């Protein structure tokens, strides 16, 4: 089996979650906690995927809606909708997902390189595709997802 | 004799009484205002022989504060006492004005002060001040006060050099620290660096004392020796050979010395600078894995070896002794191994005993004894010298921050519990009492936590002193530094951020403010110039003053330049403050020539910006040939602000109270449109531009609401009226940052957690004002 040197951290436990009908996974080490939806205070002058900020036990953290971020059509939040609090380098962020599924062991030998979809599709935040018994999981490089784009619209005001 | 400044005191007390009479215990803002004025008065009066009056003002201010903090049992009654006390102050001030003793004016019983005690003991204190201007009283010192009283002041060239360029006198080939980490971990490096930094500070302050002292004390020299010795010891851990060699050479020199000449002290300063460079380099290695270049030590070591100890004239034998001694010292130097640093003083000691120097023996003897003990003692001694009887524990800042954060969270969740409708329905006395006890403890915890973030400004002032010393000798000027209030505490982050602005202002003072000795004599001033560094509390703010007695600001020159730049109009009459403020404009400089360090007009605007980032204000005043005063006013802490919670569209925002002038109700027909673009209203014959915050910030709207309340905000004389939908409540909020991702948001400076646990944004009024007014040209 081919080993992928750049992916040596992609093996191990992943938290999997649903967005529309796709299953995604992110390293469990990056996940701080999962909470249900709480009141979000919108931030002005931000792109639509930035839903606003929430008070997480006294910390103010930004909330990103992954559906909007990935260009999937928005839908009403349901009881299953929740926020995953992710640990980035020096801060935390919350991402809204449709539902969390499980913590799955995805071994390195079950991870395949992301197929190329042509230059038009930006996929640098996908680390690889993980294969489960009856399913595939899109493994996210969450740091890239959350930092690849400016979070403030510069042309704002007056 | 009554001090002429006393009239001002009377005036400010009069205005205070006017406010007090109109105040209402329900209107906390009015009480806060009274409190601030009282503190201001107290600060001024404390420095006069009538400090007793200050005491009363202080006490009254405390009482006013207790009303604000809702700690007073009966606010209305407490306010009555405050009002009564202000009248008392008024009476007393008038007595003083008429050259009578204020001690006979009855003091309100509720203050618990005794008039006789107050004035008897205080008068002695006042005399003490006279003799020791740098006394422990943080508020004010004499020299400074005198300066403000007579309204002296400052700088003709207001320049504006670029933020102190780093000294780039390094050797052509960068030199990097050579050391062995070996089995050492980064925590060893941390320990080393923190110890090294302390030692550096210690050495500098000792050197500065020695430099100034008429009669250098042997103790101080010995203590300095101890510091160098410890430097050698701690560097041994990392096998920093250059440092060890240098420290050793300095140590050898100091062991010999009973008196240090200016040149020697300079060499020692240079050695300390080398330590500093190494420390900086290692800091950078630790944080970024990259070394910064460090200077070569060899030339310095050679110079240290060459030092001919200048002895006071009576010790003549010493001169002939020096050359004899040198080879021995050098010899004993070689076998010395870094790791055995602690035991090292032994060989040189023996060598020296053979030297025939009768007069010196006793001193050398003491030196030796001290050296032997030092290894054990210097740490103790060092600690002792700083702790003043209080134990200190070193805590990593990130742990402290975590603790403070946790306490912040506790306080917020406590207030959420307290405000929970379910909970407020509870009537059982015991439960209610328990909850209020918990709230009290939480508040206490919060205060303690806030206190832990505070550090004194001493270290910063210390660095300034050192910088003045270096720059003054570079430019051949004789400058004294007078420091007061160095124990004033400020939030750690603010102190760090104030470092560069202070450096800048002090540099300006030396480069441009202070004249050369010859010029000073010509102007009839003292040959020795003085820079005053002062920190004190004033009305909930901390004020840092940097004053000099140099050539002051040249009003005409500044006005001319300002007109040239189109900032001011030529034929208008401007008050001084307006003119002085223009020097903070970007690119402003009256320097005729651009030199290496100044004249490019970069600088004071940067200073102003970095101060404004911490909600601080800087202003400057001065008179030609009398000196310049820069006054930086900063909030006590970054963490809390008083704000007005308002509703904008569907969202809640907080407007900092400091910027709010008043609220008005606006009917749509009162708003007039100008050229179909901007909108204005007329308020008491003044035309003020109006902006809808909902529009400005692009807040989502719920559709039906109508912004009918105008909040008049101002900053630096700029005013505008911001429309909001609703005023909700006035509250203190803890500021939370939104993180780097969002620092580009316009008009928003941060977030706060509101009583119900949701987040509210804090408006950045300065930002909004400068933006809208610049954009519309409606300024003024």
Per-residue pLDDT band at A121 (split at 50, 70, 90): low
Query: pLDDT value at position A122?
Result: 65
Minimum-distance CB partner of A54 among B759, B760, B761: B759
The angle subtended at Cα B721 by Cα B718 and Cα B722, nearest 5°, is: 120
B696 and A CB contact within 8 Å: yes
CB interface of B with A, residues 229-248, below 8 Å: none
Is the pTM value of this prediction over 0.90?
A: no
The contacts of residue B100 (CB under 8 Å, 6+ apart) are none
Residues A44, B699: C-beta atoms closer than 8 Å: yes
Q: Which residues of chain B have a pLDDT value below 50?
A: 1, 121-172, 312-387, 593-601, 776-780
Residues in chain B with CB shorter than 8 Å from the CB of A86 are: none
Query: pLDDT value at position B152?
Result: 41
Residues B761, A41: C-beta atoms closer than 8 Å: yes
- Spell out the SS3 assignment of B145-194: HHHHHHCCCCECCCCCCCCCCCCCCCCCCCECCCCCCCCCCHHHHHHHHH
Report the mean per-residue pLDDT for chain A.
81
B704 and A CB contact within 8 Å: no
Q: How close does chain B come to A8, measured CA to CA in Å?
A: 25
Query: pLDDT value at position B310?
Result: 53
8 Å CB contact between B628 and B679: no
Residues A62, B738: C-beta atoms closer than 8 Å: yes
Residues B738, A91: C-beta atoms closer than 8 Å: no
8 Å CB contact between B291 and B177: yes
Query: pLDDT value at position B118?
Result: 67
Query: pLDDT value at position A116?
Result: 72
Residues shown for chain A: 158
Residues in chain B with CB shorter than 8 Å from the CB of A55 are: 412, 753, 757-759
Closest CA to B621 of B541, B708, B558, B695: B558
How many beta carbons lie within 10 A of that of residue B603, not counting itself? 29
CB interface of A with B, residues 20-79, below 8 Å: 39, 41-46, 52-55, 57-60, 62
B449 and A CB contact within 8 Å: no
How many beta carbons lie within 10 A of that of residue B256, not counting itself? 24
- Interhelix angle for B397-419 vs B429-453, to 10°? 150
Per-residue pLDDT tens over the stretch B386-426: 445 567 777 787 888 788 878 877 877 787 787 778 888 88
Residues in chain B with CB shorter than 8 Å from the CB of A158 are: 696, 771-772, 775
Q: Does residue A158 surpass a pLDDT of 50?
A: no
User: In chain A, whose CA is at the least distance from the CA of B677?
Assistant: A158
Query: pLDDT value at position B775?
Result: 57
Residue, of A57 and B596, whose pLDDT is higher:
A57
Q: How close does chain B come to A40, measured CA to CA in Å?
A: 8
A91 and B CB contact within 8 Å: yes
The angle subtended at Cα B201 by Cα B343 and Cα B515, nearest 5°, is: 135
Query: pLDDT value at position B639?
Result: 66
Per-residue pLDDT band at A99 (split at 50, 70, 90): very high
- B511-544: string of b/e by CB count within 10 Å (b at 16+)? bbbbbebeebeeeebeeebbbbbbbbbebebbbb
What CA–CA distance (Å, rounded) separates B80 from B75? 9
Q: How close does chain A come to B744, measured CA to CA in Å?
A: 7
Predicted-complex ipTM score: 0.81
Q: Which of A44, A88, A93 to mutate to test the interface with B (most CBs of B within 10 A)?
A: A44
What CA–CA distance (Å, rounded) separates B350 from B359? 18
Query: pLDDT value at position A54?
Result: 92
A157 and B CB contact within 8 Å: yes
- Spell out the SS3 assignment of B431-485: HHHHHHHHHHHHHHHHHHHHHHHEEECHHHHHHHHHHHHHHHHHCCCCEEEEEEC
Q: How close does chain A come to B768, measured CA to CA in Å?
A: 9
Residues B753, A58: C-beta atoms closer than 8 Å: yes
Residues B651, A45: C-beta atoms closer than 8 Å: no
For residue B657, give the DSSP letter: G
Residues shown for chain B: 780
B640 and A CB contact within 8 Å: no
């Amino acid at each position: 089996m081919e080993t992928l040197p750049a992916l040596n951290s992609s093996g191990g436990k992943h938290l999997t979650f649903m967005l529309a009908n796709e299953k995604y996974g992110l390293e469990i080490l990056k996940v701080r906690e999962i909470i249900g939806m709480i009141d979000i205070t919108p931030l002005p002058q931000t792109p639509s995927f930035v839903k606003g900020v929430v008070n997480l036990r006294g910390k103010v953290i930004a909330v990103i809606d992954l559906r909007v971020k990935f260009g999937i059509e928005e839908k009403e939040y349901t009881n299953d909708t929740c926020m995953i609090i992710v640990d980035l380098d020096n801060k935390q962020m919350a991402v809204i997902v449709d539902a969390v599924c499980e913590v799955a062991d995805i071994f390195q030998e079950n991870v395949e390189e992301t197929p190329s979809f042509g230059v038009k599709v930006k996929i640098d935040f996908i680390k690889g595709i993980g294969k489960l018994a009856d399913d595939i999981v899109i493994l996210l490089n969450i740091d890239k997802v959350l930092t690849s784009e400016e979070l403030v619209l510069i042309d704002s005001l007056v | 004799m009554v001090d002429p400044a006393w009239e001002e005191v009377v005036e400010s007390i009069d205005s205070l009484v006017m406010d007090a009479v109109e105040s209402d215990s329900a209107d906390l803002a009015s009480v806060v205002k009274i409190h601030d004025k009282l503190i201001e008065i107290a600060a001024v009066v404390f420095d006069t022989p009538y400090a007793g009056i200050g005491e009363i003002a202080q006490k009254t201010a405390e009482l006013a504060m207790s009303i604000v903090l809702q700690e007073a049992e009966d606010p209305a009654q407490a306010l009555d006492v405050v009002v009564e006390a202000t009248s008392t102050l008024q009476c007393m001030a008038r007595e003083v004005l008429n050259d009578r003793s204020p001690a006979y004016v009855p003091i309100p019983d509720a203050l618990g002060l005794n008039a006789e005690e107050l004035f008897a003991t205080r008068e002695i204190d006042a005399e003490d001040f006279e003799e020791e201007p740098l006394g422990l009283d943080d508020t004010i010192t004499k020299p400074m006060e005198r300066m403000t009283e007579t309204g002296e002041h400052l700088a003709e060239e207001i320049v504006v050099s670029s933020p102190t360029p780093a000294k780039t006198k390094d050797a052509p080939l960068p030199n990097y620290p050579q050391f062995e980490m070996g089995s050492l971990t980064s925590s060893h490096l941390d320990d080393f660096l923190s110890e090294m930094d302390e030692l550096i500070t210690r050495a500098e302050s000792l050197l500065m004392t020695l430099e100034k002292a008429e009669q250098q004390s042997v103790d101080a020299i010995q203590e300095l020796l101890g510091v160098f010795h410890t430097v050698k010891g701690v560097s041994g851990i990392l096998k920093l050979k250059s440092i060890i060699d240098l420290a050793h050479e300095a140590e050898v020199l100091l062991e010999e010395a009973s008196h240090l000449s200016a040149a020697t002290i300079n060499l020692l300063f240079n050695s300390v600078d080398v330590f500093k460079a190494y420390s900086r380099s290692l800091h950078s290695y630790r944080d970024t894995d990259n070394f910064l270049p460090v200077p070569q030590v060899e030339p310095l070591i050679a110079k240290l070896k060459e030092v001919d100890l200048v002895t006071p004239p009576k010790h003549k034998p010493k001169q002939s002794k020096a050359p004899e001694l040198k080879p021995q010292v050098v010899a004993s130097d070689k076998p010395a191994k870094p790791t055995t640093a602690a035991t090292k003083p032994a060989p040189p000691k023996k060598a020296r005993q053979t030297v025939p120097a009768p007069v010196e023996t006793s001193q050398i003897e003491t030196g030796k004894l001290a050296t032997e003990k030092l290894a054990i003692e210097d740490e103790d001694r060092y600690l002792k010298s700083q702790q003043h009887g209080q134990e200190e524990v070193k805590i990593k800042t990130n742990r402290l921050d975590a603790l403070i954060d946790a306490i912040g969270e506790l306080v917020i969740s406590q207030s959420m519990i307290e405000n929970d409708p379910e909970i407020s329905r509870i009537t059982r006395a015991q439960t209610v009492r328990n909850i209020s006890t918990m709230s009290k403890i939480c508040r206490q915890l919060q205060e303690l936590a806030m206190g832990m973030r505070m550090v004194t400004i001493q270290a910063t002032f210390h660095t300034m002193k050192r910088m003045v010393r270096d720059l003054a000798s570079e430019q051949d000027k004789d400058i004294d530094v007078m420091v007061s209030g160095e124990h004033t505490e400020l939030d750690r982050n603010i102190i760090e951020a104030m470092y560069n602005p202070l450096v800048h202002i002090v540099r300006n003072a030396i480069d441009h403010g202070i004249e050369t000795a010859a010029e000073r004599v010509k102007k009839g001033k003292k040959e020795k110039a003085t820079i005053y560094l002062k920190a004190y509390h004033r009305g909930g703010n901390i004020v840092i003053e940097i004053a000099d007695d140099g050539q002051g600001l040249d009003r005409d020159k500044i006005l001319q330049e300002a007109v040239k730049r189109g900032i001011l109009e030529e034929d208008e009459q401007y008050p001084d403050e307006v003119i002085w403020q223009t020097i903070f404009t970007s690119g402003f400089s009256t320097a005729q020539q651009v030199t290496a360090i100044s004249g490019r007009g970069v600088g004071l605007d940067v200073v102003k910006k970095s101060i404004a980032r911490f909600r601080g204000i800087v202003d400057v005043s001065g008179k030609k040939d009398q000196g310049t005063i820069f006054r930086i006013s900063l909030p006590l802490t970054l963490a809390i602000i008083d704000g007005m919670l308002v509703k904008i569209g569907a969202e809640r925002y907080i407007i900092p109270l400091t910027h709010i002038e008043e609220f008005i109700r606006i009917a749509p027909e009162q708003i007039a449109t100008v050229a179909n673009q901007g909108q204005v209203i007329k308020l008491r014959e003044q035309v003020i531009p109006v902006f809808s915050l909902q529009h400005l910030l692009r807040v989502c709207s719920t559709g039906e609401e109508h912004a009918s309340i105008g909040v008049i905000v101002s900053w630096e004389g700029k005013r505008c009226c911001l429309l909001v939908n609703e005023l909700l409540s006035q509250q203190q909020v803890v500021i939370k940052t939104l993180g780097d991702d969002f620092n580009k948001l316009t008009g928003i400076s941060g977030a706060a957690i509101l009583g119900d646990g949701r987040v509210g944004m804090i408006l950045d009024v300065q930002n909004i004002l400068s933006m809208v007014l610049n954009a519309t040209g409606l300024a003024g």
